[in-house]
Amino acid sequence: MTETSTTPKNISAKPSIASVSLNFEINEPAEEPSPPFSTTWREKPSDSLSSLDDNLFIDDDHTLGNYKNNDIEINENHFAKTDQELISTGNRSALNDRSEFLRRKIKEVDDQLQREELIESLVRIQMKLASMDEEEDFEMVNSKLVSGHKFIVRKGSSSSECETCHQIIWRIVKFYYYCKICNCCVHEGCLNKVNISCAALAIENEIKVEIKICPEIGLAKQKFKCAGCQTKLSFFGNDRCMPRLCDYSGFYFCHSCHWNNTTYIPARIIHNWDIREYPVSRYFYHYLNLLRKKPIFYLKDLNEDLKGLVGELDQIVKLREDLMDMKFYVITCKDALESKILLKLSARQHFVDDSDVYSLEDFIDVANDELLEFLIDVHSALAQHIKTDCARCRKKGEICCICREPEVLFPFDNLATQCKVCCAFMHKYCFARRKECPRCTT
Ligand SMILES: [Zn+2]
Ligand SMILES: [Zn+2]
Ligand SMILES: [Zn+2]
Ligand SMILES: [Zn+2]
Ligand SMILES: [Zn+2]
Ligand SMILES: [Zn+2]
């Protein structure tokens, strides 16, 4: 089977056993400059490997907005923002929902003062939507689509490098083009020479992540050509053609396609817990940046041993499992909804969908202690609500079925344990003494 693509989605997310079954071929140079990654992968027919390989893919079954299903979904009102916050996010669908809600509310409300406040909110939101329409119309007229990038004209006060010629763009004096999807910038005159496709294209279609550490295939297999622009590479030629290795993809690139930008490498984190930056090609630099917040790494599937070996991860896994238990109390509690307690998790909503899924950023934040701090804070706020502040939630706790002390227990209590058969609650120390569940043995 032969497959051709101009995006790196062909880069296998499979571990070594799958990579071995792939042949690498580079297309002969075309008359026109070739698009980046015009490489052809040919998979050897191998039925025995294919079923195994499929299980080892990280693919878009696990991407943002498409999480594994849960029994109870979070009511989106738990994450509802204030009108001012909504306006500053500029999220069109949330703003539309909010104006629909306000319209309905205005009809229902009798109190004059409240009505006026609602009308004022509605007007502010409508004005924001109108100004967004205007901006979008302007962008539609002035934007340029090149190699999947959506470039819009910009003029600003700071400087950055042109993606094509690598010269500084002095924004203060010149117009430049900026890709609103992957954030790269080019001079006006360089616009038509952009030869690296927009990394966002690959993410839009299908997310595949290389989880083998720097799967280098060697320059000979690349026919001594840059994996991006097909320029001839050599260790003995001029400086620009000196091969540079991309630590993420394992491909060699020329200096135009590889600027020695460094970033975090998913495979090194997953297998080595190595949270340091490594040099990657320009394309994969953008690609990994775009991927950074997407919750796509299921730790149990990828490296179950990791949590036992990394102290802080172990703690984080426990806190996240507790959050899943706590979620069942707060999503059914009116007071919790009103106090918007789950808003604390709005930056990492995937934490209430599945306790096992991580983004690249989560891993980085484990290493710099930010994630643990964040989770301890959320955990204690939710525990405070459920166990102390809220009579409604407190009532849902259960007393120990062994000692029957009046203090109520919850599944996320450190002191508590639950019978695996009948789900009865008991103190861990009571169970340790009695060694059996009284409900199941009577
Ligand atoms: Zn782009
Ligand atoms: Zn330029
Ligand atoms: Zn190149
Ligand atoms: Zn409550
Ligand atoms: Zn007890
Ligand atoms: Zn039991």
The one-character DSSP state at 214 is S
Lowest mean pLDDT among 5-19, 141-155, 258-272, 391-405: 5-19
Which distant-in-sequence residues (6+ apart) come within 8 Å of 398 by Cβ?
408, 409, 424, 425
**Closest CA relative to residue 193, chosen from 171, 166, 169:** 166
Residues 179-203: tens digit of each pLDDT: 988 888 888 888 888 888 898 888 8
Cα of 177 from ligand 2 centre, angstroms: 10
Cα of 336 from ligand 5 centre, angstroms: 28
The one-character DSSP state at 198 is P
How far, in Å, CA of 298 to CA of 293, rounded?
A: 14
Which distant-in-sequence residues (6+ apart) come within 8 Å of 180 by Cβ?
139, 143, 150, 151, 152
Ligand nearest to the CA of 149: 1
What the block records as the tokens of 170 is: 């002095």
Q: Are 11 and 208 in contact (CB under 8 A)?
A: yes
What the block records as the tokens of 368 is: 């710099």
Ligand nearest to the CA of 169: 2
Ligand nearest to the CA of 281: 3
How far, in Å, CA of 363 to CA of 360, rounded?
A: 5
Q: How confident is the model at residue 378 (pLDDT cuts 50, 70, 90)?
A: very high
Supply the CATH classification number for the domain 2-59+208-291. Answer: 3.30.40.10
Cα of 388 from ligand 5 centre, angstroms: 19
Q: Strand pairing partners for 41?
A: 3, 24
Unique residue bearing structure tokens 């990791």: 306
Q: Between 408 and 8, name the one with better pLDDT.
A: 408
Cα of 404 from ligand 5 centre, angstroms: 6
Lowest mean pLDDT among 20-34, 155-169, 308-322, 425-439: 20-34
Ligand nearest to the CA of 179: 1
Report pLDDT for 159: 66
Report pLDDT for 165: 87
Q: Are 302 and 211 in contact (CB under 8 A)?
A: yes
Give ipTM to 2 decimals: 0.82
Cα of 328 from ligand 6 centre, angstroms: 21
Report pLDDT for 51: 29
Per-residue exposure over 358-391, b if at least 16 CB sit within 10 Å of its own CB, e if not: bbbbbbbbbbeeebbebbeebbebbbebbbeebe
Cα of 36 from ligand 3 centre, angstroms: 8
Cα of 339 from ligand 4 centre, angstroms: 9
Cα of 178 from ligand 2 centre, angstroms: 12
Report pLDDT for 341: 83
How far, in Å, CA of 185 to CA of 191, rounded?
A: 9
Q: Between 276 and 147, name the one with better pLDDT.
A: 276
Q: Strand pairing partners for 151?
A: 144, 179
Sign of CA dihedral 432, 433, 439, 442: positive
**Closest CA relative to residue 223, chosen from 19, 38, 45:** 38
Ligand nearest to the CA of 146: 1
For the chain, which residues make up each domain, given as ranges?
2-59+208-291, 90-193, 300-394
What the block records as the tokens of 436 is: 């059996």
Residue 135 has pLDDT above 60, yes or no: yes
What the block records as the tokens of 184 is: 């790269």
Residue 177 has pLDDT above 60, yes or no: yes
Q: How confident is the model at residue 270 (pLDDT cuts 50, 70, 90)?
A: very high
Residues 280-333: tens digit of each pLDDT: 999 999 999 999 999 999 998 999 898 888 888 989 999 999 999 998 888 888
Q: What is the percent of the chain with per-residue pLDDT over 70, rounded to a whole number?
A: 80
Read out DSSP for 103-156?
A: HHHHHH---HHHHHHHHHHHHHHHHHHHHHHHHHHHHHHH-EEETTEEEEEE--
How far, in Å, CA of 86 to CA of 81, rounded?
A: 6
Q: Between 137 and 16, name the one with better pLDDT.
A: 137
Structurally, at CATH architecture level, domain 90-193 sits in: 2-Layer Sandwich (3.30)
Ligand nearest to the CA of 402: 5
| CB atoms near residue 80 (< 10 Å) | 19
Read out DSSP for 15-78?
A: -HHHHHTEEEEEPPPPSSPPPTT-EEEEEPP-HHHHHHHHHH---GGGSTT-PPP-SSPPPGGG
Report pLDDT for 377: 94
**Average confidence score pLDDT of the chain:** 78
Report pLDDT for 156: 64
Residues 70-112: tens digit of each pLDDT: 333 444 455 556 777 788 877 888 888 888 888 988 888 888 8
How far, in Å, CA of 379 to CA of 367, rounded?
A: 19
How far, in Å, CA of 286 to CA of 149, rounded?
A: 12
Report pLDDT for 78: 53
Q: How confident is the model at residue 3 (pLDDT cuts 50, 70, 90)?
A: very low
Residue 59 has pLDDT above 60, yes or no: no
Q: Are 317 and 307 in contact (CB under 8 A)?
A: yes
